A and B are shown apart, each in its own frame.
Chain A
Amino acid sequence: MEIIVLVKQVPDVALNIKVKEGEIVEEGLSYVISSWDETALEAALQITEDVGGEVTLLTVGPDKAAESLRKGLAMGAHKAIHVKYDQAGETDSYAFAKILQKALEGRNYDLILTGRQSQDTDSGLTAPMLAEFLGLPQVTNIIRFSDVSEKNITLYRKGDHGTEVVDMVMPGLVTVNDSLNEPRLASMRGIMMAKKKPLEEIDLDSIGITSEMSGIQGSMTQVLQFEKPESRKEGQIFEGDEADTVTQAVDLMVGEAKFLT
């Protein structure tokens, strides 16, 4: 089984994110693999451990993104492809999907696995767009899989009204929900081995991506600026015996916030 895992390097959103003058403040950001992509990688590793095969990481990003590829290799991926790209900030999901399409054309794979959305954009657009461009079936937001063979996989998708059980013929594209698994940590040995694993670097030219197809020009949408989320007003904290604090709080909620009225 040949599995491609799409990984995007993103700022760690668990840390403080500051917005200033319409931009995300770069200082203090720390970069990680988008956590849903790590879940996808874990799933890919489990599948190949089970039925054999190889896991290839694919990223489109700046030089720095190689760190995330090394991390994925240390977790157990077999090789990695780095499409060198400096215009990530002004690129939308549509243009990323086009670049990923070109990077994948002519390659051999059974399954593309990736996160349901990336941690920085929270868009969830790139993967299904890529599936459309490659003419592949897609199953999004899976929380479980079973019966993996060379030809088929059964996927359990978390839908709006319950879990949808879907059989997919390969090749196909699958996006994962974080409930699917708990990604492994890289071992010391894994980190050592990662240094020797193949990491292929590709430039846009070589896959036929012109300047009209990348950056602002290749994008259909554009972020004009970043804003701070609306801040919530300071709350009231009650400490003490629950019988008193709850009663006090309910009194206020009724008076101030029209609770139960």
Chain B
Amino acid sequence: MTKILIVAEVKNGEIKKNTLELISFAKSEGFESDTVLLGTGVSVLADTLAGQGAGTVYLGDDKSLEIYNTEQYTALVSDAIHQSGATQIWLTSSEFGRDLTPRIAARQSTGALSDVTRLEFNGDEITAYRPCMATKAVQKCKFSKDSLRVISIRSGIFPADNSAPSSANTVSLSIPSGHSQIEVREVQVEESNEVELNEASIIVSAGRGVGGTEGCEFVRPLATELGAAFGASRAVCDAGWLPHKHQVGQTGTMVNPDFYFAMGISGAIQHLAGMSGSKVIVAVNKDPEAPIFKVADYGIVGDLFKAIPVLREEVGKRKE
């Protein structure tokens, strides 16, 4: 009997959308699923998970879990695996999931498939598809041994239905005492109420072509007016024009919004690998040879400083 254990992610006191997506997906496939919920003050969120369709919620609510750390989280998830009798573990391929997925798999003496973008089930057989080689090819994979399956899944692949909370069946995990080799001192959070990249249906991104911080601020209002997330290329983040969390791409956030606007971005493979799954790509670049035009649905060869005011005006008119 297939049973999934989903490792939940929390941000600012809420269950992240990527977690809800996984629970909804498990339900749509007809699987029973449990969740493991770790953090501090997270007990109140168990009902959200239950409402979404999760069975038992394995709970670790403790001050020591406020900031993610590999050692404690691995121990707690492993404990939940044993208690739930799950046959598959699902995580998302966020930085949290990227760090935790292989560690959990190794502790369970099994392998893992990471950053999966499509999953098919046939009894106990799983066929997983995952992009590789900077998204220039896709691997079709399977698990070849009869053991626990550990999978991390890219966010935004499956729809999340939004159900009302219901009363959760919770099991408290016992918190392992201190970890000694690692101490997470702080998280330097860049506070903002901006739309998150991996939850946005529209993203407006700035590239080196914007020229500097001022150029970024020239682009930003378009994002605000569209209710979009504000993204950037690595060149922009490395130059310090925007914080790193704005970076889209292979080592930034992998995104697949309905609309992606690339402003002054050349379209290097590592950038494309992170956004070429977008439904519609709009690019503004003054170089007609820029590789971004190879993936753009609407490519405007021109100066972004001239194009953006026109774009904002058009958007303004149509929103009226």
Contacts and interface: CB of A to CB of B under 8 A. Distances in A.
Interface of A: 11, 13-14, 17, 19, 24, 92-94, 97, 116, 119-129, 131-133, 136-141, 143, 154, 157-169, 172, 177-179, 216, 219-229, 232-233, 235-243, 245-247, 249-250, 252-254, 257, 259-260
Contacts, number: 267
A129 B142 contact: no
8 contacts: A94-B110, A122-B132, A169-B182, A179-B237, A219-B144, A237-B301, A254-B318, A260-B315
Contacts of B102: 93, 124-129, 132
Interface of B: 9, 11, 67-68, 70-71, 74, 94-96, 98-99, 101-103, 105-107, 110-115, 127, 129-145, 147, 180-190, 234, 237-238, 244-245, 250-251, 259, 269-270, 276, 279-282, 288, 293, 295-303, 306-307, 310-311, 314-315, 318-319
Given A233-B297, A237-B299, A260-B315, A139 B182 contact: yes
A23 to B, nearest CB: 10
A162 B188 contact: yes
A226 B139 contact: yes
Given A125-B112, A179-B237, A220 B314 contact: no
B145 A220 contact: yes
B110 A138 contact: no
A159 to B, nearest CB: 5
A137 B71 CA distance: 8
B137 A166 contact: no
B140 A257 contact: no
Given A94-B111, A137-B70, A222 B142 contact: yes
Contacts of B187: 159, 161-165
B184 A166 contact: yes
Nearest to A179: B238
Given A140-B98, A162-B245, A253 B111 contact: no
A250 B307 CA distance: 11
Given A137-B70, A239-B301, A229 B188 contact: no
Nearest to A126: B102
- Top 10 A-B residue pairs of the complex, sorted by shortest distance between their CB atoms: A220-B111, A132-B106, A162-B189, A128-B102, A137-B181, A94-B111, A17-B136, A246-B310, A242-B306, A129-B106
A158 B147 CA distance: 32
Contact of A177 (B114, B142, B180, B251): B251
Nearest to A98: B106
A161 B11 contact: yes
B251 A228 contact: no
Given A24-B137, A141-B99, A249 B143 contact: no
Given A94-B105, A167-B183, A19 B137 contact: yes
Contact of B138 (A124, A228, A232): A228
Nearest to A22: B140
Contacts of B103: 128-129, 131-132, 138
Given A119-B133, A160-B95, A165-B186, A125 B105 contact: yes
Contact of A94 (B106, B180, B280, B300): B106
Given A179-B238, A222-B144, A242 B310 contact: yes
